[in-house]
A and B are shown apart, each in its own frame.
Chain A
Amino acid sequence: NAGVTQTPKFQVLKTGQSMTLQCAQDMNHNSMYWYRQDPGMGLRLIYYSASEGTTDKGEVPNGYNVSRLNKREFSLRLESAAPSQTSVYFCASPPPEGQGTAFYGYTFGSGTRLTVV
């Protein structure tokens, strides 16, 4: 099935450990996004990539780095995890503007639930 695949689904880290969250999309979209979801705060944009080879900071980039490895893959790295990074992380990808006349929304992955202790 076409969509966005995230790995892992769950992860527990100790403070100071590092890890990379993986995301891949098979829809041939140009843009990919990383959001974090916290109770009462909605989804906040961490980083995004408008096209292969480009990345930009979102609203809450501190403590994170990203790599757009190719058109399909966009990874999020925590170099030194902190308890404040405990969250649910979503990767998402929208279709290009103007695709068809209907509204096409972002396709979200199923999320990575990260706990930092």
Chain B
Amino acid sequence: QQQVKQSPQSLIVQKGGIPIINCAYENTAFDYFPWYQQFPGKGPALLIAIRPDVSEKKEGRFTISFNKSAKQFSLHIMDSQPGDSATYFCAASMFQGGKLIFGQGTELSVKP
């Protein structure tokens, strides 16, 4: 029940494409759903986050879509750029500063 399942494991898109990464969770007590971005050799960094009282959140080219009834959420990257090439992790926790349960990660490559 603590798991967060993420797909796909890897993704290749052309510059300008819209990669979509999906996550699913089981525990309905989760109340905070962040996405982290990680570049090689670095620690993950918060990209965008959402709480289940909204269905969508946008920050720049990054959008989270949230479906509470399906217990699923996804990350969309509009007009993707080669600089977006990184590993992306979804996560969930009971509250903002609580234990984060991470998905398996998606390695995104944006080709010029």
Interface positions of A (Cβ within 8 A of B): 4, 31, 33, 35, 40-45, 48, 58-59, 90, 92, 94-98, 103-106, 108-111
**B46 contacts A106, CB within 8 Å?**
yes
Within 8 A of A (CB), among B13-63: 34, 36, 41-46, 48-49
Starting from the known contacts A40-B9, A108-B43, 7 additional A-B residue pairs (CB-CB under 8 Å) come to A43-B105, A58-B99, A94-B98, A103-B34, A106-B46, A108-B44, A110-B42
Which A-chain residue is minimally distant from B95 (CB atoms)? Answer: A97
Which B-chain residue is minimally distant from A9 (CB atoms)? Answer: B41
Given contact pairs A42-B102, A110-B42, A111-B43, A105 touches B34 in the complex (Cβ within 8 A): yes
List residues of chain A with CB within 8 A of the CB of B9: 40
Report if B86 contacts A (CB, 8 A): no
Interface size (B, Cβ < 8 Å)? 25
Main secondary structure of the interface of B (DSSP, over half): loop
Given contact pairs A104-B46, A108-B45, A110-B42, A43 touches B34 in the complex (Cβ within 8 A): no
List residues of chain B with CB within 8 A of the CB of A104: 46, 96
Contact with A along B94-109 (1 / 0, CB 8 A): 0111111111110000
Given contact pairs A42-B6, A42-B103, A42-B105, A96 touches B97 in the complex (Cβ within 8 A): yes
**A31 contacts B105, CB within 8 Å?**
no
Q: Which of B42, B100, B101 is most buried by chain A, counting CB atoms within 10 A of its CB? A: B100
| Interchain Cβ contacts under 8 Å between A and B, 13 examples | A40-B105, A42-B89, A42-B102, A42-B103, A43-B89, A48-B99, A92-B43, A96-B97, A103-B48, A106-B46, A106-B100, A108-B43, A110-B43
